[in-house]
Chains A and B, each alone.
Chain A
Amino acid sequence: MSKARLFSLLIVSLIMGVIGCTRAPKAKTDVVIWHWMTDRKKAFNELAKKYEDQTGLRVEFKLFAPSDIYSQKVRAATQAGTLPDIFGILGEKRDFAIFIKAGHVLNLKAAMRAKDSQWKNKFFSKALIVNEFKRGNEFDVPSGIYGVPIDVSNIQMLYNKDLFKKAGLDPEKPPQTFEEFLAAAAKLKTAGIQGLVSGWAEVWMIDCLASNFAFNIMGEKKVMNTFRGEVPYTDPDWIRVFSLFKEMADNGVLAGGIISMNNKDAEQNFANQRYAFTFNGSWCVNVYQGMNPNLNYGVMFVPRVSERHPMLIWGGAGSSFMVNANSENKDKAVAFLKWLTDTEQQAYLAQATNNLPANKLSVANISPILSQFAESMENTTHPNIWSAHEKSPVVEAYTVGIQQIILGTRTPEQVAREVQEVKIREMAKD
């Protein structure tokens, strides 16, 4: 090709790109929703179509994944005033509070409480807490409900029923106490089956299980008092929490390399039936369905250590939608969210996406394994709703400490002392 021709082609391409493409005509939609949930794309689009058929109103779901890019887009849109009618805010509650205080999120308290709280009562109570700001909250946000949960999730233990049978254990009676758990793991080990696999390279998972045990051993009040600096980590109850990990390690319950394993690898190992137990969130139902549709497994509550206090597991709203307070279509947006979270639509979403529905009335229509997860929804808690929060360096010290206990390079007492030292240092900064 001659130079002149090549150059002409280049110029034509440029003109084609810059002039040929026109600005997109404004789509005639009544409600625009931005979301990041790739696996729910098809189901959302189906529901939007159904809604249009029923009401004549056009709802458009726009997917922007992955979630970290989605978050940046929402932040940028906030600055430019181009937020859609409905959107989601990812991050911690303090991020949520910033959006509310800037006037971008509609308070749904009145809508939720209308007609004897008809809408509000459909949700698992724990699903709404994440979106609720009570009077006098630490973020100075006016009291209200600012988000609508679309689904919920919780993190529990799972066990492989086939491996249980192979080891001579009753697959319908998973261990309920920590002692029973260790005994079952020992029996599995004798049968040549490995125990617990989990992605403990992701330290939040260690934090999650450790706080489950802490709530059970010492109760919520004492845990919160520890975070406030009123109870030291050298307290015998905390040493007991750390010791549980040592017991699991010493009894060979934990997978080799568990502390360097990410959750994706752990999921793969459990799906391939290499381990009898795992510690994972309810989203795993979808994951295992893809990895091994024939996996025969059940959900078991985290084995309790003590009878003194209830065992609380992490859980709450999985994904939530917020209504743009400045949208011209906010009434239509609220009406659509009411419809989306109604029993029928929630059951459809759960069946189509294998996520736990936020609407407790739709649980009757979901798969048995999701039902098992849903049974424990009222026993959930989440850092976002705690009255006190631990400082990040302290959390890091105790999660890394637990990893060292598992490795055998630290004792629970040493870790307790070291965590307390970090705590004292952090408190001195206040």
Chain B
Amino acid sequence: MNSESLKYKSKSFTTGVLINLLLLLIAAACVFPLVWMFGSSLKTQGSVFSDMSLIPRVLHWENYYRAWTEGNFGTYFLNSVIYTVCVVGGIVLISSLAAYAFSRLQFPGKNFFFYMFLAAMMIPLPGSFVPLYVLMERLHLRNTPQGYILCLINVGLSLSIFLLKTFFDRMPKDLEDAARIDGCSKLGIWWNVALPLARPALAVIVIFNSLNVWNEYILALILFDDARFMPLQVGLATFHGEFVTQYHLLMAGVTIAVIPILLIYIFMQKHIVKGLTAGAVVG
């Protein structure tokens, strides 16, 4: 082995080690909050502030039981699951239909309506609390799960329509022509051609909106008076007092709340990566 080749190998080895070290560091920085959260969920309120070890010597698993019961997670957890499924389902259904229409159909005011949807993305949700509250009250939808679900579908539509329209715009027209020759209607093309091709984009929409709905609690607090309709995040707020936060129970609650989102990530990981990288090739 000559010195040039040795030098090259040693250089590439050093670069590899450095890159891997950097990646390990980034990974550790990402994982650390989760480990800290889990470790704190097994401590007492006092030891959260005094015991700096990541995993305490005495494990207080009862924190999970207390978080579940004191935070009324039994009700809230089920509510959050229902809201997430309904809202994400609604968004996928409506946004894919709307995006397909914006992309493929010609109708008066098409651009105007599309830009209106985009403009809706600029309005922060807190800015619309009071009008939304009054509107829901007048429609007799305030303090009802239906009203909350409709509001959240509305919140998620703009970005989802924008993402899917961009996707459909790049879809080759030949595929639709072929489907039309096979006797497909417009709805049939949307169902049989456009939707299957948009699977990676849909995965991104599902994960993005699932996260939003799962973590939402502000609108729920504004719209609901009845505690039995509240989502999971409101249960977490129970441990966050005006002056005192029960960190051990809060962390146990957060750990419980994180599990479904982690499962969605793991379940859809393949599609998400595709969705983020497949933009260039459609069809």
Interface residues of B in 66-106 (CB under 8 A from A): 82-83, 85-87, 89-90, 92-93
| Chain A binding surface SS class | helix
Q: Which of B82, B83, B226 contacts A24 (CB 8 A)?
A: B226
- A77 cross-chain contacts in B, Cβ below 8 A: 133
Interface residues of A in 9-44 (CB under 8 A from B): 10-11, 13-14, 16-19, 21-24, 27, 36-39, 41
Is the CB–CB distance between A38 and B241 below 8 Å? yes
B140 within 8 A of A: yes
Contact status of A290 and B244, CB under 8 A, knowing A14-B86, A79-B130:
yes
A62 to B230, CA, bound (A): 12
- B112 cross-chain contacts in A, Cβ below 8 A: none
B218 within 8 A of A: yes
Number of interface residues of A (CB under 8 A): 47
Q: Which of A19, A69, A283, A287 contacts B218 (CB 8 A)?
A: A69
A291 within 8 A of B: yes
The listed residue with most A CB atoms (<10 A of its CB), out of B93, B218, B243, is B243
B143 within 8 A of A: yes
Is the CB–CB distance between A38 and B240 below 8 Å? yes
8 smallest A-B Cβ distances: which pairs? A17-B86, A76-B133, A39-B241, A21-B145, A283-B243, A10-B89, A80-B137, A38-B241
A72 to B221, CA, bound (A): 10
Encoded as 1 (CB less than 8 Å from any A CB) or 0, chain B from 219 to 249 comes to: 0011001111100000001111111101000
Is the CB–CB distance between B86 and A23 below 8 Å? no
- B237 cross-chain contacts in A, Cβ below 8 A: 38, 65-66
Identify which of B43-51, B55-63, B177-185 touches chain A: B43-51
A contact set with B: CB distance below 8 Å = 3, 10-11, 13-14, 16-19, 21-24, 27, 36-39, 41, 62-67, 69-70, 72-73, 75-77, 79-80, 82, 84, 268, 271-272, 283-284, 286-287, 290-293
B203 within 8 A of A: no
B144 within 8 A of A: yes
For residue A293, which residue of chain B has the nearest CB?
A: B46
Is the CB–CB distance between A65 and B240 below 8 Å? yes
Q: Which of B45, B137, B228, B242 contacts A36 (CB 8 A)?
A: B242
A161 to B243, CA, bound (A): 23
A77 to B143, CA, bound (A): 12
A293 to B46, CA, bound (A): 8
- B126 cross-chain contacts in A, Cβ below 8 A: 72
Is the CB–CB distance between B146 and A17 below 8 Å? yes
Is the CB–CB distance between B85 and A272 below 8 Å? no
Is the CB–CB distance between A14 and B130 below 8 Å? no
